[in-house]
Amino acid sequence: MFYTYVLRCSDGNLYIGSTGNLRRRLVQHEAGRVPATAPRLPVTLEYYEACRSEGSARLREKQLKTGFGRAYLKRRLA
């Protein structure tokens, strides 16, 4: 199982990523081992989707990073 996930950073911005192990990846984020989120700790998991393949998780990550995807997340997380 692969996952596309959305974190809310301490500055209020969203971080969108994908992974094969969601728990391990969250631990990496929380420990400051991910350069994109390290200066914006703490982070909280706001949303995730399970995907059948790595390719579909990465595709969904790409979709959520578009204007349409961010609008979807804004409605979903409101």
What would the 3-class secondary structure string for 9-38 be? CCCCCEEEEEECCHHHHHHHHHCCCCCCCH
Q: Angle at Cα 11 formed by Cα 66 and Cα 43, nearest 5°?
A: 85
Domain spans of the chain? 2-77
pTM of the model: 0.95
Decide which of 3.10.20.600, 3.40.1440.10, 3.40.50.10700, 1.10.10.10 is the CATH code for 2-77: 3.40.1440.10
Query: Contact at 8 Å (CB) between 72 and 16?
Result: no
Q: Using one digit for the tens of pLDDT, what is the confidence trace for 8-51?
A: 999 999 999 999 999 999 999 999 999 999 999 999 999 999 99
First to last CA, the chain: 27
DSSP letter at 8 equals: E
